[in-house]
Structure 1
Amino acid sequence: MKKVTLFNTKHQDILEKVYDGLYQDVIDLSDLEGINTICTYGTLQQISEKISTHKRSDIYFLGNGNFHYLTFPLTQQYTHPFTLIVFDHHNDAGSFPFAKMTTCGSWINDAIEQNPVIKEVIVIGSTQQNEKELVETNLSKIRFLYEKEMTKERIEELAKTIQTEDIYLSIDRDILTEKQVQTNWDQGTITVEQLLQAICLVAKNHQVIGSDVCGDLEWDYTSSFRYPMKKYLQQTYQVNKLLFEELEEVMQ
């Protein structure tokens, strides 16, 4: 069984109840300030130190999409060449004007610029309507397969062009249709079944060295007033379970 670690960024007791049975370890970030959506490099260093005190996991659950930037410190754990593959409704490689800070919409640039063993980043499932202004100096290291191109044939073709044997998979659930799961960002139209197939196809003939999942709702003490809780809880738990099982399968 592959190890799953849950990042707790807020209201630890609620989060642990929501995902009870899906994880084996917890990294608690709830004592850190200034981590929602935007994070300074100084705070990222504190996060990296917390990560280092835990045995490395196979799968990390990052919480809602505001924390997708946690993939950045997670991938800094690796020192040998790999390809970072990101399934996301947004490209997360937008330019950000402030130095020594990262965000949920720009973290891919930080990963590329600060970890030379990332040979390429492949973003799958974004839409051109959501495309942010990209950093020109990083364009040579980023490829896109847009949502409308996510056919079995195109993904198989893409998988054959991955330059490294080792790959890291990062999944934002906002790529999925809101008919199957709810997130805190606008969402794509991909079904869970399509995403699971895409993960399998990309991983074929490659070694998945690590993975993470984000795109949660923000569960807190007011959730019951904002969401039809029973329905959304069932959806989010079941989708996470399917994703974790698929990631575990491709990491065998």
Structure 2
Amino acid sequence: MEKKAPDTTPVVLMNFTHVYEQESFYKKEPHCWIDLTDLEGVNGYCDENAVKDIRERIARLSPYGLHFIDSGNYHYVSKFWTDRIREDFVLVLFDHHTDMQPSRFGELLSCGSWVKDVLDENPFVRKVVIIGADKHYLDHIDEAYRDRLVCFTTDSLGMEKNWRAFAQAHVRLPVFISIDKDVLSPKEEITDWDQGNMSLAMLEGILQILIRRHRILGIDICGECPELLGEGLEAVRVNDSVNEKLVNFLKDQIFMKHNRAVICRIEDPDFGCEERPEGRPAACRVFLKELPENGDGSRCKDKVFAMLMEEKLLEERGLAEGMTVVLDEDGTLAKILETEGL
């Protein structure tokens, strides 16, 4: 049976370094605060006592939710969440690093080895898809694991002409998503690790496809920058802004997967000063307004969100402003009735 988290599921904040005390992105959302600042043996690796403590503190919370897990030094926490899933699934990792290296701390779980440990120990993980890792790190993955891995650099993803085909070919089971924000370009985000070159728009584009085509078991996000606390308020501001954008984006996508909305505006494709990339179809930005679940045409909230859809497909389906739509099976919009008075 499909597990669907209720709309009131809180954002879980795992506070190791006090960094979330400096941010505000979660304050408008139902949220659950887990204080881990008293723990020792947790920075970059996790000793046996800390493993026991962390597992106990998250025991009452579901892995089927959205978890913010502090700096990338604590990315190993993703293993604790995925260890509690009892069905076959695919782990989709957005990360500039593979986190597939042998631990530098003997048998201790670490932020650089946790994906390898998941593959070694979790029988329900059928495949790991690593997105955005640097080629240098990909080249150092042990050959013994490659039959259970699909890896893409940001550049190779940029050449993918059909995102839906990518998801269909490589992600055929429920999905747990783990995001380290060091996958993003330094122009978009500030972390305390070396970073990739993915744009936030590309990250959201891939997430959009995964959410619309697959059952999402849980999502965690790390990559805060505690090293700069007290010294770099700009880092705090940037991280807070990116986190807020991700929370809002994920809420919008999950809402649209289960509900109806009204098209309130369609904007033509705009590539600024650049030409449209070769092979990429023209896509319009479609602005949508939520409808209540009963679909009676009344407005439930004064909130508008957006998605991209191919211009050709909009024309073929006769979609226009004022129409009520729902997501089709392929993750695109389909008309169900016309609504007046918006």
User: Aligned-pair distance for 1:30?
Assistant: 1.6
Q: Which residue of structure 2 lines up, in the alignment, with residue 44 of structure 1? A: 51
Residue matched to 2:87 = 80
Report what 1:243 is aligned to.
246
Matched, 1:54 2:57: no
Between the aligned partners of 2:105 and 2:172, the Cα distance in structure 1 is 32
Q: What is the alpha-carbon distance in structure 1 between the residues aligned to residue 43 and residue 139 of structure 2? A: 20
Task: Give the whole-Å Cα distance in 1 for the aligned partners of 2:162 and 2:133.
Answer: 15
Residues 1:218 and 2:226 aligned together: yes
Q: Could you report, residue by residue, the CA deviation over 1:95-125 in whole angstroms, capped at 9, with x for unpaired residues?
A: 2365531111110011111111111000000
Q: Shift in Å at residue 239 of structure 1?
A: 0.7
Q: Point out where structure 2 has 5 or more consecutive residues left out of the alignment.
A: 1-6, 256-342
2:208 partner amino acid: C
Identity %: 26
TM superposition shift of 1:162: 3.2
Shift of 1:41: 4.2
Q: CA deviation at 1:175?
A: 0.9
CA, structure 1 residues 158+41, in 2 after alignment: closer, same or farther (shift >3 Å)? farther
> How much does 1:50 deviate?
1.0
Shift in CA distance, 184/72, structure 1 to aligned 2, threshold 3 Å: same
Structure 1's 128 and 55: CA in aligned 2 closer, same or farther, altered over 3 A?
Answer: closer
**C-alpha separation between the residues in 1 aligned to 2:125 and 2:216?**
14
Output the amino acid matched with 1:117. Answer: F
For 2:195 and 2:250, locate their aligned partners in 1 and report how far apart those are by CA, in whole Å: 21
Report the 3-state secondary structure (helix = DSSP H, G, I; strand = E; otherwise coil) of the residue aligned with 1:27: strand
Change (3 A) 1:166 1:124: same
Question: Which of residues 196, 208, 211 is equivalent to 1:203?
Answer: 211
Give the alignment's Cα RMSD to 1 decimal: 2.2
Q: Quick one: which amino acid aligns to residue 234 of structure 1?
A: R
Query: Residue 175 in 1 paired to residue 183 in 2?
Result: yes
Equivalent-residue separation in structure 2 for 1:240 and 1:213 (angstroms): 9
Aligned-residue offset at 1:248? 2.8
One-letter code aligned to 1:182: I
CA shift for structure 1 position 46: 2.2
* Contact 1:92/1:108 (<8 A) preserved: yes
Deviations 1:53-86 (A, max 9, x none): 3355610001111111110101111101110000
Residue ranges of structure 1 left out of the alignment (5+ in a row)? none
Instruction: Give the alignment's TM-score, normalised by structure 2.
Output: 0.66
Equivalent residue, structure 2, for 1:63: 70
Cα–Cα, structure 1 residues 171 and 39, in superposed 2: closer, same or farther, change >3 Å? same
The count of residues paired between Structure 1 and Structure 2 equals 245
Match of 2:69, SS state, is strand
Corresponding residue SS for 2:207: helix
TM-score of the pair, normalised by structure 1: 0.88
CA offset digits 1:131-158 (Å, max 9, x no partner): 3632343222111011111225264332
More relative contact order, 1 or 2 (CA 8 Å, 6+ apart): 1
Contact 1:95 1:134 in 2 (8 A): no
- Cα offset, 1:203, TM superposition: 2.8
**Aligned residue in 1 for 2:14:** 7
Higher Rg: 2
| SS of corresponding position for 2:38 | coil
Q: Which has the higher helix share?
A: 1
Which residue of 2 is the match for residue 107 of structure 1? 114
Residue aligned with 1:168, SS = strand
Corresponding position of 1:18: 23
SS at match of 2:226: coil
